[in-house]
Amino acid sequence: MGGGLPSGSLTLIEGGSGSGKSVLSQQLIWGALSDGYRVHLFTSESTVRSLIRQMETIDLDILDYVLLGKCRIFPVALSKSGISALPTLLDACNNLDSDLIVIDSITGALTHAADSSVTMQFFQACQRITGRGTTLIVTLHDEGMPNEVMNSIRSMCDANLKLRTEKDGQRIIKLLEVAKIRGASSGTGSIVGFDVEPGWGMRVIPISKARG
Ligand SMILES: Nc1ncnc2c1ncn2[C@@H]1O[C@H](COP(=O)(O)OP(=O)(O)O)[C@@H](O)[C@H]1O
Ligand SMILES: [Mg+2]
């Protein structure tokens, strides 16, 4: 990933359902916790207990960090909160003293956004949060989002990781494209093939093999 995600950056992880957005963000959360950072996760998909269990099954055991208060998990029903979802979420983020905030995923909240200007305002507010030194990672299922809105969001982010699945003969492979990392030490645009294996987590597959 070109030397990694810079601290104080805003990262967009985008991809369809099952493409690996949650697993990739969990891997990044694990990395940050291992490096001693304080992490806050807003999850629209899990309870605290189910998330800890699920991460444990891919060899990312965060229980100690949760018990120590280094990792805090907030389940949020973003798709049920209507138009209050984005302001409430931002309010919560603004009041955190955090090194890394992860929102997995923002999709449900954006589908309730009145128009694209509300979505843009949300990402502008995210930029202000990162301006104070907090690293922010937002995952998004881009289905149904207008192309021009997606392009505006991407341009507002410091890093953009795109996930997709591709059919390769009999099997489905997952691909991670590093579309952008601002200030990356090496060139971006690289594509990595990977799989998610129980008991292991993300396993990188050499791209030539991934592509057959
Ligand atoms: N704990 C796990 N053990 C094995 N496979 C998993 C686990 N968690 C997720 N996966 C698999 O990894 C893939 C990506 O899942 P996920 O990251 O949840 O996708 P997304 O968040 O993009 O919808 C899926 O194929 C899913 O079945
Ligand atoms: Mg997910």
**pLDDT tens digit sequence for 73-130:** 999 998 888 888 899 999 999 999 999 999 999 999 988 766 889 999 999 999 999 9
Q: H-type helices in the chain, by residue range?
A: 21-34, 48-57, 63-67, 85-94, 107-110, 116-131, 147-156, 207-210
164 CA from centroid of ligand 1 (Å)? 13
Is the pLDDT at 59 greater than 60, yes or no?
Answer: yes
Residue 96 lies in a domain: yes
Cis ω before 105 (30° cut-off from 0): yes
- Domain containing residue 58: CATH number: 3.40.50.300
Largest Cα span, the chain = 49
Residue 182 lies in a domain: no
115 CA from centroid of ligand 2 (Å)? 24
Atom 18 in ligand 1: residue holding the nearest Cα: 22
**pLDDT above 70: percentage of residues in the chain:** 93
Residue 49 lies in a domain: yes
104 CA from centroid of ligand 2 (Å)? 6
Cα 208 versus chain centre, distance: 26
Residue 198 lies in a domain: no
- Which ligand minimizes its atom distance to the CA of 21? 1
Q: What pTM was computed for the model?
A: 0.94
- Which ligand minimizes its atom distance to the CA of 16? 1
Determine the structural domain holding residue 121 and report its residue range: 10-161
25 CA from centroid of ligand 1 (Å)? 11
Residue 188 lies in a domain: no
Residue 121 lies in a domain: yes
- Determine the residue type at 31: G
Residue 99 lies in a domain: yes
Residue 185 lies in a domain: no
Please write the tens of the pLDDT for every residue from 122-142.
999 999 999 999 999 999 998
Question: How many domains are there within the chain?
Answer: 1
Pocket test for ligand 1, best of 12, 17, 22 (most atoms within 8 A of CB): 22
